[in-house]
Structure 1
Amino acid sequence: MMDPRTSAQDVMRCDLCETALVQMHCATCLVNLCKACVGEHFSADLSNPHRIVDVKDRNSTLLYPGCTSHEKERCEMYCNPCHIPVCSTCLASSQHLGHELLKVSDVLNMKIEMITKNKTELNETIIPTYQDIVSDVRNRMSQLEKKYGDLSAAITKHGEDWHREIDKLVQKLKSEVEEMKTTQLHTLQKHLDEVNKKISDINDEINSMDDALDSNDFSKVFSLMPNVDEYKNVPHKILSSLPKFNPGRIQEELGKLFGTLSSISVRSEEHGYSIKTTQKSPEAASSPVIKQLLDEPQTVTTIHTEYSHNLYDVACLSDEEIWTSGTGNMKLYRIKQGSLLKSITTKTGKIPEDIAVTNSGALVYTDFSDRTLNIVKNEEIQTVITLQGWRPHNVCSISSDDLLVTMDNDDKTQSKVVHYSGSTEKQTIQFDDQGKPLYSSDYKEKYISENRNLDICVADCGATAVVVVNQAGKLRFRYTGRTPAPKNKPFYPRGITTDSQSHILTADYYNDCVHIIDQDGQFLCYIDCGLSDTWGLCTDTNDNLFVAQCRNKQVKKIKYLQKN
């Protein structure tokens, strides 16, 4: 028997009477109603604040989550330190007193934005990487087929010289070739199946995201935890060696020297594939090259800048040109000749707090004095953001070409990192999981950089620590220096940058050196090279390090990595 609610070409029927057409919708109870049954639905539960909307508006209504502590209460606020939605009754209690509260709708939007970004990363970087792996494996399988065919042809040609008495030996060796080929093709086919399974799993993740994004159910969206990081660990690359046919001389013993096949090997190469990322040069855009730290870093060149007082910051425009900043202006230098190409004065004439270069080649700078973030295009300065109640410190351009800015509030009680896309604030990073501040709040520099694994790295001068959080703003680790230091002075970080190996490099002002740590915060080595008053840092696409030396107003270009 057909369900009366779904019969008649699947028209929607009232959930109460099950006969009349749906005209209304209770956004509180998620029930479809006809107009005649609305009153009955209200009287069935007078304690619930029913919200009745036209059925065509049901999907545009935000489904606020129910409170886990107070039955029938809906939560329109979100407690950030506790990471839970809260209702008005919760707010009236002392449980969340003094906690940072956000609108559920705002948290939902941030969550949707994060899911959308993860979905974009899966679609635009991870899936193409896996598809490239499939293409690579299939191509190598095709090459194997051709080369094994050539190998069989060589054996056949050699066999013709030995006439009938060696036909059996020829067939034996060809059989061995086929077995070897079958073994290697089987291994690659298995690898191909695993990669295709990964792609299927990724598509399942994307479908789950689509379901959540298409839903207005907050609980469904909020409970979704995309497992993107799992797929960033791409499969190892399977490398195979081909056997060689070594023909023997006819004059020598037939069975031994007609020819033999070398053995084959199949091994897994961990860094054979990598996730695609946006790069600034053809070299950086190619597959990542494993590089080792040099035992003795080398100074490649020294650029003498023309600042009247101090030099603070350096940013690479390209592998040939660098921007620098000091007293009142910003100067562009050609690296090889050390020649000045142009000079730009800030709008206020004050020292820029920090400079950075976007992926598109635009210069950006922060002005602490007038609370602005500015961009320079065709030597014209445009103010992108003017802060209220906060003052900007340092800035960096990230892989998405968005900007990260560190800032303190006017009364020096709070500090945070803000992610901007244009002039739009996309994310704020301020507290850890216990609700404690991640960064010091004392108007001291907080240089910032994004690592290749998308961690956000801050050299917090006031906290004398490098603070590293993941893309979602969760604390990963704090690096507080290493003892003994080159000059046995306290760790005092200034500039910070990262390289193609996901190393984090930070300038130690008191010890006149640069610390290199890995992406998990483990100390690797110091760079000294006769440095003094180390301040701003940057790296180019070839992993050369540029160090701005404050008092002598010089920039040193240092080579510290070599290809393996």
Structure 2
Amino acid sequence: MATSTSWAQDVITCDLCDKPTQQFCNNCQVNLCDNCVRKHRDEFKSLMHEIVPFLERKIQLVFPECREHSGQKCEVNCKKCNEPVCVKCIGLGPHQGHDVEELIETHEKKIQKIKSDTEEIKAKIIPKYQNEDHKIGNTISKTKSKIDDLGKENKKLRKLWHQEVDNIYDKIDSLSQSLGEENLNALQGYHNKIRNLISEINKTVKQNEKLSISTNSLEVNKYQSKLNEYQDLWKKRNYNTYRHTRGCERHSHHYMSRLAKWHLSDQRKRTDLQ
């Protein structure tokens, strides 16, 4: 037995208010309560309205009202202007002489394009970005490990030398920290960008899936494919993985080489004195 909460969640409400639906307009594909039937008719007086009990509704394509001719439904699509038009528009109106096709045919083509785009995004685009997300995560972990190793090595070397060389290791620590943070920030920024793109692409997929079953031809006709945009973004991706870390290593080796030469020179001087 359903609880009052689950029953409330299952109730289909009127599209004009929050009351439960009792009626349905087949022409406009709109859910209506008894009180809103008149309001719906009055709002679109120029259009035909087939009001039936909700359980007897017919799911069908909704033809938009012509903007040029009141009371006329757009049943064809102007290929030249890529917009729905009525028969008067192509007879004597602004679309006279333009090539047209049935709006149902246009709708079906758009639906197929939406489904095709969505499948390619799900099958190819998203896995690419997810794989990139995984690789960047590994790169960040390795970079952190390298930075930690450099820090540990610096501390070990610090203990081997006298107080006179502390200033050199202060420079190494400062360089390691600044370059390490710069490298991590760059990687983290790229990582965030990839994750935001994945989120945006998933949102596009949900919108496309919803649009692919829509009966609103006007909304479907407005669909703009984002497939090429996502493919171009993938081709343009770029980041330098260890550029800063390697720079830090070069500077570290440079200072250690200087210290080694200083140590040998100091040993020779002491031997000469003895």
TM-score under structure 1 normalisation?
Answer: 0.38
- Which residue matches 1:198? 197
- Which residue matches 2:184? 185
Q: 5 Å matches for 1:463-478?
A: none
- Which entry has the higher C-alpha Rg, 1 or 2? 2
Letter in 1 for 2:174: S
Q: State the 1:162 CA deviation.
A: 2.2
Q: State the 1:167 CA deviation.
A: 4.5
CA separation in 1, counterparts of 2:260 and 2:38?
106
Give the secondary-structure state (helix, strand or coil) at the position aligned to 2:64: coil
CA separation in 1, counterparts of 2:261 and 2:45?
103
Q: 1:47 to 1:200 in 2, by over 3 A?
A: closer
- Which residue matches 1:124? 123
Q: Are positions 1:68 and 2:67 aligned together?
A: yes
CA separation in 1, counterparts of 2:129 and 2:17?
52
Q: Residues 335-364 of structure 1, C-alpha deviation per residue, up to 9 Å, x if partnerless?
A: xxxxxxxxxxxxxxxxxxxxxxxxxxxxxx
Q: 1:167 to 1:209 in 2, by over 3 A?
A: same
Give the secondary-structure state (helix, strand or coil) at the position aligned to 2:239: strand
- Which residue matches 2:82? 83
Letter in 1 for 2:74: C
Q: Is the 8 A contact 1:79 1:86 kept in 2?
A: yes
Q: Is the 8 A contact 2:16 2:36 kept in 1?
A: yes
Q: 1:23 to 1:103 in 2, by over 3 A?
A: same
Q: Is the 8 A contact 2:23 2:34 kept in 1?
A: yes
Q: State the 1:128 CA deviation.
A: 1.9
Q: State the 1:211 CA deviation.
A: 3.3
Q: 5 Å matches for 1:117-196?
A: 117-167=116-166, 169-196=168-195
Q: Is the 8 A contact 1:65 1:218 kept in 2?
A: yes
CA separation in 2, counterparts of 1:43 and 1:172?
79
Q: Residues 79-106 of structure 1, C-alpha deviation per residue, up to 9 Å, x if partnerless?
A: 3233222223334437656544322111
CA separation in 2, counterparts of 1:237 and 1:16?
49
Q: Is the 8 A contact 2:29 2:60 kept in 1?
A: no
Q: 5 Å matches for 1:485-504?
A: none
Identity among equivalent positions (%) equals: 27
Give the secondary-structure state (helix, strand or coil) at the position aligned to 2:212: helix
Give the secondary-structure state (helix, strand or coil) at the position aligned to 2:77: strand
Greater share of helix residues, 1 or 2? 2
Q: 1:17 to 1:151 in 2, by over 3 A?
A: closer
Q: Residues 432-461 of structure 1, C-alpha deviation per residue, up to 9 Å, x if partnerless?
A: xxxxxxxxxxxxxxxxxxxxxxxxxxxxxx
Q: Residues 457-500 of structure 1, C-alpha deviation per residue, up to 9 Å, x if partnerless?
A: xxxxxxxxxxxxxxxxxxxxxxxxxxxxxxxxxxxxxxxxxxxx
The total of aligned residue pairs comes to 248
Q: Which runs of 4+ in 1 moved over 6 A?
A: 13-19, 35-46
Q: Are positions 1:237 and 2:238 aligned together?
A: yes
Q: Is the 8 A contact 1:59 1:216 kept in 2?
A: no
Gaps of 5+ in 2: 1-6, 267-274
Letter in 2 for 1:182: E
Give the secondary-structure state (helix, strand or coil) at the position aligned to 1:192: helix
Q: 1:125 to 1:78 in 2, by over 3 A?
A: same
Q: Is the 8 A contact 1:65 1:219 kept in 2?
A: yes
CA separation in 1, counterparts of 2:175 and 2:42?
83
- Which residue matches 2:21? 22
Q: Residues 49-83 of structure 1, C-alpha deviation per residue, up to 9 Å, x if partnerless?
A: 22234424657221112112111211122232332
Q: Residues 267-307 of structure 1, C-alpha deviation per residue, up to 9 Å, x if partnerless?
A: xxxxxxxxxxxxxxxxxxxxxxxxxxxxxxxxxxxxxxxxx
CA separation in 2, counterparts of 1:237 and 1:138?
15
